[in-house]
Amino acid sequence: MKILIIEDEPSLREVMLRALKEEGYVVESASTYFEADAKIAGYSYDCILLDIMLPDGNGLKLLEQLKALRKRDNVIIISARDSLDDKILGLELGADDYLPKPFHTAELKARIKSVVRRSRNDGNLDITLGNVALDPESCRVKVAGKEVELLKKEFDILRFFLQRPNHVVDKSVLAEAIWGDHADQADNFHFVYAQMKNLRRKLSDAGANIEIKSVYGFGYKLTLPETE
């Protein structure tokens, strides 16, 4: 899978490049509008990560360029300006997603996967890992083909981890992702623990071969079966 990173800040470009290469993607990068324009015209990418504030032009123009070239590359806008106007304009111009800075790498990876899956699988958005399959549309979870009843929060947590396999997630990050900004001043994370306990019990009761492990009591990590 080929990915193009359009980002003018070298340090951020470097870490994004490294993170995506580790996922096994073929990654290229462009630091200016001019460079990006040339790459877009010359090649096709499965996903383009686009910073719309470039030193020599507005990234949104590249979207128009893509449209004019009748290219169907997936585009995720990455912007320091978390503005609704930019978001709406970007999505209207054909971007597939909008990720405000600063973001977690895991979030970026999850968004890329989700965007690519949407365009490839013709609407089948199921996330499958090991013998666990999650359907975000109907909010159903199947373990080894059998449906498991999950509460809303448990479902959200499972989906969050399925999109971030092998990634250490701090409790506070998880709390903020599931409970929103409301949880940002919580002094302990018992409420996360309570939900997590139930989810893990339900998964193991159903015989799932993936596991959400605790990392030294600070956070969690979803691990895959080590059968391969």
Partner 1 sequence: MKLTYRIALRLSLFLLPLMALWAVLFYFTMVDEINDEADDALDDYSEMIIIRMLAGRELPPLNSGSNNSYSIVPVDEAYADTHPHIDYYDAEVYIPEKEETEPARILTTIFQDGSGSYYELKVATPTFEKEDLLRAILFWVVLLYILLLLTTLTLTLWVFHRSMRPLYTLLHWLDHYTPGQKNDPVPDDTRIQEFAKLNAAAQQAVDRVESVFEQQKQFIGNASHELQTPLAVLGTRIEWLLDHASLNEEETGELLKMQRSLGHIVRLNKTLLLLTKIENGQFPESSTIDMGKLVEEQAELYQEIYADHSLSCTVNIGEDFSVKMNESLASTLTSNLLKNAFVHTEAGGHIAITVGSKQLCISNDGKQPLDAEHIFDRFFQGEKKEGSTGLGLALVKAVCRYYGLGLEYRYVDGRHTFTVDWR
> What torsion do the CA atoms of 91, 97, 100, 103 make, to the nearest 10 degrees?
-170
Judged by CB under 8 A, does residue 90 bind partner 1?
no
Structure tokens at 210: 């993936």
Stretch that binds partner 1, among 24-32, 60-68, 112-120, 184-192 (CB under 8 A): 184-192
CB of 150 to partner 1, least distance (A): 16
162 within 8 A of 130, measured Cβ to Cβ = no
Q: Which of 19, 116, 133, 177 binds partner 1 (CB under 8 A)?
A: 19
Residues 100 to 159 in contact with partner 1, rule: CB under 8 A: 100-106
156 within 8 A of 142, measured Cβ to Cβ = no
Q: What is residue 79's three-state secondary structure?
A: strand
Q: Which of 1, 89, 173, 177 binds partner 1 (CB under 8 A)?
A: 173
Judged by CB under 8 A, does residue 183 bind partner 1?
yes
* CA separation for the pair 75, 90 (Å, rounded): 9
Check the CA dihedral 157-130-126-146 and report its sign: negative
Judged by CB under 8 A, does residue 181 bind partner 1?
yes
DSSP run (H or E) holding 47 = strand 47-51
Residues 187 to 216 in contact with partner 1, rule: CB under 8 A: 187-188, 190-191, 194, 215-216
Structure tokens at 100: 């405000």
CB of 154 to partner 1, least distance (A): 13
Check the CA dihedral 36-87-10-45 and report its sign: negative
Calculate the alpha carbon distances from 198 to 45, 81, 150, 216 in Å. 41, 38, 9, 19
CB of 6 to partner 1, least distance (A): 14
Question: Which one, 81 or 146, has the nearer CB to partner 1?
Answer: 81
Match 């599931």 to its residue by tokens. Answer: 178
Stretch that binds partner 1, among 68-76, 134-142, 180-188, 198-206 (CB under 8 A): 180-188
* Prior bond of 165 cis (ω within 30°): no
CB of 119 to partner 1, least distance (A): 25
Count the Cβ atoms, other than its own, within 10 Å of residue 142. 16
CB of 168 to partner 1, least distance (A): 4
Judged by CB under 8 A, does residue 15 bind partner 1?
yes
Question: Which one, 43 or 218, has the nearer CB to partner 1?
Answer: 218
* Contact residues: partner 1, CB under 8 A: 9, 11-12, 15-16, 18-19, 80-85, 100-106, 166-168, 170, 172-173, 175-176, 179-188, 190-191, 194, 215-216, 218-219
